[in-house]
Structure 1
Amino acid sequence: MKIAFIINDHATEKPNFTTPALGFSAYKREHEVYFIGVGELAYASDGHLSARCKTISGKNFKTQETYFKAVQKEEFTRITSKELDVLFLRNDPSDEINEREWAQNAAFIFGEIATRDNVIVLNHPSSLAGAVNKMYFQHFPEILRPKTIISRDHAEIKEFFAAQKNKMILKPLQGSGGTNVFMMDKKNEHNLTQTIDAICRDGFVIAQEYLPEAKNGDTRLFLMNGEPLKTPDGKYAIMQRVNASGDIRSNIHAGGRPQKVKMNDTILALAEIVRPKLVQDGMFLVGIDIVGDKLMEINVFSPGGLNVMGQMYDADFATEVIKSIEKKVHYNNVYEDYLFNSRLATL
């Protein structure tokens, strides 16, 4: 199959990230793999998606790092949606905030164009467009979520703070990777107005119940086709992300430390509650972040850590993802135009 991955930019994509891991797994399975930066997308006069891309073929690589470094050194070539089987949207819109605002929605818009050529687009582009901020999380059942308000009103946020016994989490509605996440309590209450103002500069503020279990970090679990991702021998794509000393954020890019963690009934029950909406929305590969018996976040754009988990458990999770995509391509070829992209995405 011919599979293209959309990333934010070739200059910022690190060889040890999850997307290069997925690309390397596809490459090892003798597929044609392409990487496209958001800024390299285009709409051709014949009505098809067109893109400048980087690809490599005919060489053997021992690791994903050597593979992707070689890809990055290649000259740009061009590919169109008429040639592709799969377009995997793995760019993170939140990385473009205040930098390249035009790039936040570009992948969804061009992804929709690709579906006209019967290209399988993952995750489903129109659903991603509706999930471009953390409000998407609020559409899941309330029993999953910590108590939350979303507002720009200082008085409302301060009332919530008092109702939470002067302890809560503040973060922006848009963003990821632990950026601008603050824990407010009696010790820093004098900074509450200033903190709300700082977050309000970029939009709405999420004020969220503080969960005591958060001091131990959170648990990242990958879901594929709505189900916990695991290898045939039963190893789950799951890890505990332990906060760096003195930091409430457990994101790996924010200094969090990954650790092994065992699957349990509480996590499986949470995943099962999340599953129906993810399947309905065509969310093929997502990462859910769990604290205690609550979900803190659902990352539907470019969840990371799959390669870290693979090394931690000596498991090839990336290949399981590619195998699932291969089945989707087979279904798409057999049924031709009879299956909607949103359904194919989670078959």
Structure 2
Amino acid sequence: MRIAFFVNSIEGETPIYTTTLLALAALGRGHDICYVTPGDFVLRPDDSLMVRALTLPGASYKKAETLHKDLQGDKTVIETIDVADIDVLFLRNDPSLDAAERPWAAQVGTMFGRLAAPRGVLVVNDPDGLAGAQNKLYFQDFPAIVRPTTLISKNIEEIRAFIDDQRKGVIVKPLQGSGGRHVFKITSPKDANLNQIFEAVSGEGYLIVQAFIPEAAEGDIRFFLMNGRPLRREGKYAAFRRVPAKGEIRSNIHANGTPQRVDITPEILAIAETVRPKLIHDGMFLVGLDIVGSKILEINVFTPGGLDNISQMYKTNFSESVIAALEEKIAMRAAYGRSVTNRELNTL
């Protein structure tokens, strides 16, 4: 099986990224891998879709650090590959990272993923589903019972009125974005910093304002779902709690959040079950839920991260389970041919 990982840039990859762990697991199971970036697609006059892919030797690496070192070094080769010769195109880019500096690149994965699918490639997550999830507005299509009370607006007066109704304060963040960038807590519409925060965040477009959930002070839970169901291996769930640093409201690990073990309760499983039908409908193969209390703050469908922390914490190779699931899908396609659609394969 040949797996192509679509990323924002080769230079931006790190040894602890989930993408690196997935590539390591794929090589360990005997598959070929390559990396593709937004500028690497070529649609030729004969309608053949090609990629200029960065390939690694088909070695079985034992450490993600070694794989990453080779990825950044001189052991890689650029090969022009017909997309039809790729079994899986794994879309692992974050569109928000490209939105400001090179907006042309933000939607390349979904655009060319749509062209790759009818050419026989299993594209995960489904590009049609991802096209509708380019920002946090996608989250509003999920059942209201799992969503915090939310306002989406660019009008400061609307935002002030909403804040006035939320006795415990609100969280303000850009509608388009990721990684905890420009996330602020406001306790009152009279907050002296509200105008400055509004100016800083609204420059990126619409704002999303969510009622503050007190349990957020203890951090959120990143919970992985695969094929619409909790990712589980050896009796352990792929989940962990991210505890914010002192004085921080963001629990993101890169913002000095601390990863901790977490027990998955029936309540958390019920939350996951509530969002499962839409995830399956949209062809979302691998996603990360960010849960606080009985609510989901975000659903990460592009580059859900954290498998490095989770795998080390529980001494379990969850990435191998992800690659094994892709193997099953490719085997199913071989058995049933084109009668199984790309979207069906994504969540079977």
With the shorter chain as reference, the TM-score category is over 0.9
Letter in 2 for 1:292: G
In the other structure, the counterpart of 1:313 is 314
Cα shift at 1:15: 2.0
Indicate if the aligned counterparts of 2:30 and 2:60 stay in contact, CA closer than 8 A. no
Cα shift at 1:307: 1.5
CA distance in 1, matches of 2:223, 2:250: 17
Indicate if the aligned counterparts of 2:96 and 2:176 stay in contact, CA closer than 8 A. yes
Structure 2 residue 263 is the aligned partner of structure 1 residue 274: no
In the other structure, the counterpart of 1:36 is 36
Q: Per the alignment, in what secondary structure is the counterpart of residue 3 of structure 2?
A: strand
Letter in 2 for 1:50: M
- When structure 1 is superposed on structure 2, of 25-34 and 53-62 the one drifting more is 53-62
In the other structure, the counterpart of 2:263 is 262
Indicate if the aligned counterparts of 2:18 and 2:305 stay in contact, CA closer than 8 A. yes
Task: Tell me which of 133, 143, 151 is aligned to 2:153.
Answer: 151
CA distance in 2, matches of 1:45, 1:285: 34
Letter in 1 for 2:191: E
Indicate if the aligned counterparts of 2:32 and 2:58 stay in contact, CA closer than 8 A. no
Indicate if the aligned counterparts of 1:243 and 1:257 stay in contact, CA closer than 8 A. yes
Cα shift at 1:132: 0.4
Indicate if the aligned counterparts of 2:35 and 2:53 stay in contact, CA closer than 8 A. yes
Q: Per the alignment, in what secondary structure is the counterpart of residue 87 of structure 1?
A: strand
Letter in 1 for 2:286: L
* Structure 1 segments unaligned to the other structure (5+ residues): none
Task: Tell me which of 176, 182, 185 is aligned to 1:183.
Answer: 185
In the other structure, the counterpart of 1:211 is 213
Q: Per the alignment, in what secondary structure is the counterpart of residue 91 of structure 1?
A: coil
Indicate if the aligned counterparts of 2:22 and 2:323 stay in contact, CA closer than 8 A. yes
Trace 1:315-334 onto structure 2 (pairs within 5 A): 315-334=316-335
In the other structure, the counterpart of 2:96 is 94
In the other structure, the counterpart of 1:345 is 346
- When structure 1 is superposed on structure 2, of 95-104 and 296-305 the one drifting more is 95-104
Return closer, same or farther for 1:188/1:258 CA change in 2, 3 Å cut-off. Answer: farther
Return closer, same or farther for 1:71/1:166 CA change in 2, 3 Å cut-off. Answer: closer
In the other structure, the counterpart of 2:57 is 57
Letter in 2 for 1:57: P
Provide, for residues 239-285 of structure 1, a one-character-per-residue CA deviation record: whole Å limited to 9, x for no partner.
00000111100011222111111111111010000111001100000
Percent of counterpart pairs with the same letter?
Answer: 47
Indicate if the aligned counterparts of 1:48 and 1:114 stay in contact, CA closer than 8 A. no
Cα shift at 1:299: 0.2
Indicate if the aligned counterparts of 2:168 and 2:212 stay in contact, CA closer than 8 A. no
Letter in 2 for 1:310: S
- When structure 1 is superposed on structure 2, of 309-318 and 92-101 the one drifting more is 92-101
CA distance in 2, matches of 1:314, 1:307: 10
Q: Per the alignment, in what secondary structure is the counterpart of residue 345 of structure 1?
A: helix
Alignment length (residue pairs): 346
Cα shift at 1:166: 6.5
Provide, for residues 157-216 of structure 1, a one-character-per-residue CA deviation record: whole Å limited to 9, x for no partner.
100000002611100000010000000114970111221122111110001100000001
Structure 2 residue 292 is the aligned partner of structure 1 residue 303: no
Trace 1:4-43 onto structure 2 (pairs within 5 A): 4-43=4-43
Q: Per the alignment, in what secondary structure is the counterpart of residue 271 of structure 2?
A: helix
Indicate if the aligned counterparts of 1:214 and 1:291 stay in contact, CA closer than 8 A. yes
Indicate if the aligned counterparts of 1:48 and 1:113 stay in contact, CA closer than 8 A. no
Q: Per the alignment, in what secondary structure is the counterpart of residue 151 of structure 2?
A: strand
- When structure 1 is superposed on structure 2, of 307-316 and 71-80 the one drifting more is 71-80
Indicate if the aligned counterparts of 1:166 and 1:184 stay in contact, CA closer than 8 A. no
Indicate if the aligned counterparts of 1:54 and 1:72 stay in contact, CA closer than 8 A. no
CA distance in 1, matches of 2:289, 2:58: 37
Indicate if the aligned counterparts of 2:164 and 2:188 stay in contact, CA closer than 8 A. no
Structure 2 residue 135 is the aligned partner of structure 1 residue 128: no
Letter in 2 for 1:22: L
Q: Per the alignment, in what secondary structure is the counterpart of residue 241 of structure 2?
A: strand
In the other structure, the counterpart of 1:2 is 2
Indicate if the aligned counterparts of 1:9 and 1:39 stay in contact, CA closer than 8 A. no
Provide, for residues 51-81 of structure 1, a one-character-per-residue CA deviation record: whole Å limited to 9, x for no partner.
1222222434220220132133213222221
Letter in 2 for 1:300: V
Runs of 4+ residues deviating >6 angstroms: none
CA distance in 1, matches of 2:203, 2:183: 14
CA distance in 1, matches of 2:140, 2:29: 38
Indicate if the aligned counterparts of 2:161 and 2:189 stay in contact, CA closer than 8 A. no
CA distance in 2, matches of 1:287, 1:21: 16
